Structure 1
Amino acid sequence: MSDVHSEQLLAQVAALPQLPGVYRYFDAQGGVLYVGKARNLKKRVSSYFQKNHGGTRIGHMVGRIARLETTVVRSEAEALLLENNLIKALDPRFNILFRDDKSYPYLKITGAADKTGVEGQGAAVFPRVAYYRGAVDRKHRYFGPYPSAWAVKESIQLLQKVFRLRTCEDTVFANRTRPCLLYQIKRCSGPCVGLVAPEDYGRDVAHAEAFLRGETQQVLQQLESRMMTHAERLEFEQAAELRNQMSALSRVLHQQSVETASDKDVDILAVRVQGGKACVNLAMVRGGRHLGDRAYFPTHVEDAAAMQEAEQAEEGEGAGLLRPVEVQVLEAFIAQHYIGVPAPPALITSHAVDRALIAALGEQAGLRISAVHNPREQRRHWLEMAEKNAAIQLARLLAEEGSQQARTRALAEALDLAPDDLDALRIECFDISHTAGEATQASCVVYQQHRMQSGDYRRYNIEGITPGDDYAAMRQVLTRRYGRLAEVGRDPPDAAPPVEAAAEGEAPAAAPVARKRGGGGAKRLPDLVLVDGGKGQVSMAREVFAELGLDLGVIVGVKKGEGRKVGLEELVFADGRDTVALGKDSAALMLVAQIRDEAHRFAITGMRARRARVRVGGSALEEIPGVGAKKRARLLQRFGGIRGVAAAGVDDIATVEGISRELAEEIYRALH
């Protein structure tokens, strides 16, 4: 393989030190191919260039290496942590990668613990329990993370039933003159109107926190002790209240099947691999309660597995000692997942993982972490449930992917599309959304590689037209989207794929010039352009494409059927072909409807957000320097809208978190 690499690269490889470290391979375009770690950098990296790997996956990767970067570290543990940080940051082509879909939700109890139960009647004296997702603030107490929003909301309902904590916003709390419905149905103790003493409410908060930590027996003992004290004093009403609270807590504990006092915080990890795909199912136990699970699907499983097998073979390990793919996937998940999520003290895994990995994870988290792969009793039941869910989720993924590929193939055959590669078939769909002409927006969604490509979605603010003129809106969005192609024409079939955007509505990171939301044009003409509408919209699209000199054959309108019933849609062509009704059972029509519905969803959510900004007046705050999204949200929440902010004085505005006196004066001047 050395004859295909530059002398400079080979000299760099020869000069590597025999120390532990992390290495990165880059291709000629600067893309990251692979990130790896090694006990001996010189031995590991040299092995890639000292033999002919043929047409294998590793041979394909090695032939593309144009540049090398290395980082020397002090230990294998440091190399392990750095490797997975780089994998998450660089998204290499030949590494197993778990993508973060979103942050985990938490249950939040507002206010610092030492302020609970102080004298007064303000919202700060009576902490609120709430659902939360985002950065953790030390001013409040957080419990979790939870695997889903449903798990958090279920826990909040339990706290309402047992401890009757408030969930209302502080602004609502401050303006109540009589208790709300939650008080009437015994889900809140009514602190907003003084129906509970601060010290009693503070005890309920403390018991709720102990319950979330899994200290349920201590909570029951304290409640029982207080109940007996009230009974001895002949305070039977108070004793009855505590008795009811104990009964509610006992019912909750029975429903949650909390049978172990030792396992308070545990993560259960089960992996399943099939058909080149993998699923890791993560189940969470917090405070002794099983909170549910979440499935993760890594990418590049086959490529990464081939790479790691080759690495072990280069180091002289026998084929019988090669780690199973399941272990590789599980270790990759553990190393990447717990970079940004706090690790519990115990992990239960479906396969044995490297002890060095667990030790490095514990060193990073600052606590001792144990991992068990052959558990007993209750832990065994948890693991079996996680393994079953992993198998179910992976089977669902394989079925969905097979279905999507069949739909793509059916549409290509129905419309006589003949792409060189079915995976590269690109469809763009447009929709217009407004409310009586107000806040008109157009959406463009993209379908490629058998799935929706949300990173390529664009929204276009439509201006300068007669309100409600959908034809003019369609003309404008198509001109803006494909206008640049008029100069260069359609790219040849072997043209490079379009550069993907870094985020919704923003220019791609590699674009030479930044552009505003919705201002981006297409890099090439897609294989199919869908417009939501019948002959009128198709005629407008045909006019635009004729003016731009683009191929009319790619334009297809989706005309709603009789009674606007799903499955009766017809396809209208801009090049004069006869209208086609595919039939309600057609896989091709299912794909068209899927893409059309996604374009409609994307357009209407953008339109509603834009309309809300206009009506609420948040745009007035957006123009003030120093007022970002978080400060704007806090202002609107505190004062109930832009009118409330405008009516507030400088002193009142300065009380909002993050707003200084100088900024408060600037806001007041801007709104007056």
Structure 2
Amino acid sequence: MSYKTEFDYKAFLKTLTHRPGVYRMLDQEGKILYVGKAKDLRRRVSSYFQRAGNKRIQTMVAQIRDIQIVVTHTEAEALLLENNLIKELKPRYNILLRDDKSYPYIYLSDDEFPRISFYRGARKGKGRYFGPYPSGGAVRETLYLLQKLFPVRQCENSYYSNRSRACLQYQIKRCTAPCVGLVSREDYMRDVQDIVLFLEGKTHDVVDGLVARMESASADLAFEEAARYRDQIDAIRKVQERQYVSGEKGDLDIVACARAEGQACVQVFFIRQGRNLGNRQFFPKGARGRVEGEILSAFLGQYYPGRQLPTEILLSHKPEDRELLQEALSQQAGRKLVLRTAPRGERARWLKMARQNAEIALKARLAGSSNARLRLETLQEALGLEEPPSRMECFDISHTGGERTVASCVVFNAEGPLKSDYRRFNIDAITPGDDYAAMAQALRRRYTRIMSGEGRLPDILFIDGGRGQLSTAAQILEDLGVHGVLLVGVAKGPERRAGMEQLFLLEHQHPLILDAHSPALHLVQHIRDEAHRFAITGHRQRRNKARKRSVLEDIPGIGQKRRQQLLKQFGGMQGLSRAGIEDIATVDGISTRLAEKIYQAFHGTE
């Protein structure tokens, strides 16, 4: 439907009701310009045509060709409908929150020997869900921490059911190997119960239980067991110091807004059961010309409906219609929810910290390269990720005919190459030229170290190669118990030309082919080429170091002076390698026996 004539707003306003509801403004092509809610529809809509407003509103009003309304029973109902329509229609002149993804949880399965794992999606499976967490990285960090504190399995059930011997996780004391019966169910469930208490914020109960076990083991003269409990208690206390929010015991969100140069950043800190689960930042679209309260009003209305709500939300600025938002969110939660803008004491300090984080994040975004942000966002969209990747790694293999094989690992974050985290691996003890074995060795060495605490896992792991290399990488990560990392194989196209790359993912039957001009593809090419460069450089250094070493250095009785004399007499290594024993023996200081050794060094023993 299109509207070519001017909008007769005077006639329309005469028919408009004074009841609460939602209005949609349409342009001449029938596209939605703006969605709004009102306690009194006639009064609110009339205001657009009765006063000039700012330039943004003037521009919008000039494009209006029709207005559609939906009458609701209450203003709170209108608020919920407004935000549902904004999410669905994404009008040009509304403040838009570009985040409608499900949040990740930690899932504890209902198996005989429960598994603890990363989970995102509808919570339908049997078991317990802990969260939500602000990001996948926060879940992975917590799972890694739990694995060090409580050795409960994190492997997939398919992997767990087919084990005949304990895996590496048992060897590095990250699992008690229930798959092969090395732990009783009673002892295993004790660790599971400790995890539940820890995730519920009842850390003191966990510590009290461990103290009792430590004292019992000590009384039974089981000093090694007592020492293990002591170390566990010490580790938990250190974690407790880092994670807990002073004075908080319940569920609390802290939401702060910063605004500059037509852009805005909203920071959300998540406190659950007194534990700080981390924070997440958002950059709403359409913030130019809006004040902080208006931005927060739009953010709260779009972000919280449909999500698990805390009991209280601290806000850096008073949003428009705070009482209305509080009423609507309380209805959704089924209990009273408080929006607080002026906390005191410790809470005021935490709100100030959240506001500072929002300001810092916004400055970084404004100062950073817009092209870098675009590449990450388009890669997120291309791979169907819930959030832009914050850390990416890529591996490549380099050798010459199988000689001096070197594997490279390069690391990128949101700002670009993170060269301090680059690593090279000299590959030995494989069949020369076997790239699959070389990749397997490099991955195993890299991620064994990470799982032992020497670094952090990436969000995406790129492998230079096709399905074969991707399958090898997947098997290694499965063996090591590495989960939550997206594997992507990067293969050159049929003509091996730049722009024709194929991206292989484990769950996809066909490769993903991005447009040659896609910023996402440019980012992948940059990462892949950097891994290739770093591998080639390492291989050449290793090869040249080996080749620069003269075979004469390994011959007893040949020192530096005799080496120099031999090379001068024969014009270099090539001339010496062609010389016979008699010719070599004519050089001063070289006996016939020594000449034979030199000859054999070049030609082998006959």
Same topology, TM > 0.5: yes
Counterpart for residue 399 of structure 1 = 367
Q: Which amino acid aligns with 1:386?
A: A
Aligned to 1:375: 343
Establish whether residue 326 from structure 1 lines up as the match of residue 312 from structure 2: no
- Note the aligned Cα RMSD (angstroms): 4.0
Distance apart, 1:128 and its partner CA: 0.9
Please state whether the residue corresponding to 2:368 is helix, strand or coil: helix
Q: Name the TM-score, length of structure 2 as normaliser.
A: 0.59
Counterpart of 2:311 in structure 1 is 345
* 1:206 equivalent in alignment to 2:193: yes
The one-letter code of the counterpart of 1:44 is R
Match of 1:497 in 2: none
Map residues 360-371 of structure 1 onto 2, 5 A cutoff: 360-371=328-339
Q: Determine the structure 1 residue equivalent to 2:602.
A: none
Match of 2:82 in 1: 83
Equivalent in 193, 211, 219 of residue 180 of structure 2: 193
Aligned pairs for 1:592-671 (under 5 A) are: 597-598=522-523, 600=525
Could you tell me which of 91, 102, 116 is aligned with 1:129? 116
Task: Please state whether the residue corresponding to 1:302 is helix, strand or coil.
Answer: coil
Alignment partners' CA distance in 2, 1:54 and 1:366: 38
> Which one has a bigger Cα radius of gyration?
2
Q: Percent identity?
A: 42
- Quick check: 2:267–2:354 contact (8 Å CA) kept in 1? yes
- Greater CA drift, 54-63 or 90-99: 54-63
1:569-584 equivalent positions in 2, closer than 5 A: none
- What is the CA-CA distance between 1:12 and the residue it aligns to? 4.0
Show the counterpart of 1:283. Answer: 269
Aligned residue in 1 for 2:453:
none
Alpha-carbon offset, residue 30 of structure 1: 1.6
2-structure distance, mates of 1:195, 1:261: 42
Stretches of structure 1 lacking an aligned partner (at least 5 in a row): 112-123, 306-324, 406-432, 439-460, 478-515, 521-529, 533-591, 605-672
Matched, 1:139 2:126: yes
| CA–CA separation in structure 1 for the residues paired with 2:101 and 2:76 | 27
Residue 110 to residue 17, structure 1, CA distance change in 2 (3 Å) = same
Q: Once the two structures are superposed, what CA deviation does each residue of 1:595-636 show, in whole Å capped at 9, x if it has no partner?
A: 8724747999xxxxxxxxxxxxxxxxxxxxxxxxxxxxxxxx
Amino acid paired to 1:298: P
TM-score, normalising length: structure 1? 0.54
1:176 aligned partner: 163
**Residue identity opposite 2:94 in structure 1:** N
Counterparts in 2 of 1:602 and 1:46: CA distance versus 1, 3 Å: farther
Work out whether residues 437 and 468 of structure 1, in 8 Å CA contact, stay in contact via their aligned partners in 2: no
> Would you say 1:248 and 2:235 are equivalent positions?
yes
What does residue range 65-464 of structure 1 map to in structure 2 within 5 Å? 65-100=64-99, 102-111=101-110, 124-228=111-215, 241-256=228-243, 258=244, 260=246, 262-302=248-288, 305=290, 325-353=291-319, 354-400=322-368
CA contact (8 A) 1:285 1:291 kept: yes
| Alignment partners' CA distance in 1, 2:15 and 2:511 | 48
1:238-273 CA-partner distances (Å, limit 9, x unpaired): 6555444333322321343x2535334221111101
SS of aligned partner of 1:30: coil
For 1:437 and 1:291, how far apart are their aligned partners in 2? 37
1:37 paired with 2:37, answer yes
**C-alpha displacement of 1:395:** 1.1
Q: For residue 26 of structure 1, what is the aligned residue in structure 2?
A: 26
Does the C-alpha gap of structure 1 residues 434 and 153 become closer, same or farther in structure 2, counting only changes over 3 Å?
closer
C-alpha deviation, 1:343, in angstroms: 1.7
Question: Which range moves more in the overlay, 289-298 or 229-238?
Answer: 229-238
For 1:22, the aligned partner's letter is V
Using the TM superposition, name which of 380-389 and 159-168 deviates more: 380-389
Give the total of aligned pairs. 407
Task: Classify 1:292/1:55 alpha carbon distance in 2 versus 1 (closer, same or farther; 3 Å).
Answer: closer
CA distance in structure 2 between the partners assigned to 1:221 and 1:602 by the alignment? 49
Q: Deviations over 1:370-397 (max 9, x none)?
A: 2332334432332222112111111122
Distance between the aligned counterparts of 2:527 and 2:32, measured in 1? 32
**Deviation string, structure 1 residues 625-654 (Cα, Å, up to 9, x no partner):** xxxxxxxxxxxxxxxxxxxxxxxxxxxxxx
Determine if contact 1:212/1:286 at 8 Å carries over to the other structure.
Answer: no
Are the aligned partners of 1:104 and 1:133 in contact in 2 as well (CA < 8 Å)? yes
2:245 and 2:275 in contact (8 A); partners too: no
Tell me, what secondary structure is at the counterpart of 1:173?
Answer: helix
Structure 1 counterpart of 2:16, which letter? L
1:359–1:274 Cα change, 3 Å: same
- Paired residues of 2:22 and 2:35 also in contact (CA < 8 A): yes
- Which deviates more from structure 2 when the two are superposed, residues 188-197 or residues 232-241? 232-241
- Relative to 1, partners in 2 of residues 1:598 and 1:38: Cα closer, same or farther, differing over 3 Å? same
Distance in 1, Cα, partners of 2:217 & 2:363:
57
Distance in 2, Cα, partners of 1:204 & 1:434: 40
Residues 545-601 of structure 1, C-alpha deviation per residue, up to 9 Å, x if partnerless? Answer: xxxxxxxxxxxxxxxxxxxxxxxxxxxxxxxxxxxxxxxxxxxxxxx9x68724747
Return the alpha-carbon distance in structure 1 between the equivalents of residues 498 and 202 of structure 2. Answer: 64
Instruction: Give, in whole Å, the separation in 1 of the partners of 2:279 and 2:5.
Output: 48
Aligned counterparts of 2:524 and 2:235: Cα–Cα separation in 1: 47
The one-letter code sitting in structure 1 at the alignment partner of 2:39 is: R
Contact 2:245-2:276 within 8 A present in 1 as well:
no
1:202 positional shift: 1.6
Correspondences of 1:399-548 after superposition (within 5 Å): 399-400=367-368, 468-469=494-495
Q: Secondary structure at the match of 2:330?
A: helix
What's the CA shift string for 1:186-230, capped at 9, x where partnerless?
221221222222122222212211111111122223333454556
Contact between 1:270 and 1:390, CA under 8 Å: does it hold in 2?
Answer: yes
8 Å CA contact retained: 1:164, 1:187: yes
The 3 A distance-change label for structure 1 pair 45 and 601 is same
Q: Which amino acid aligns with 1:184?
A: Q
Query: Unaligned regions of 5+ residues in structure 2, if any?
Result: 374-462, 469-490, 503-509, 530-606
Q: Does structure 2 conserve the Cα–Cα contact (< 8 Å) formed by 1:213 and 1:264?
A: no
Tell me how far 1:19 sits from its aligned partner. 0.8
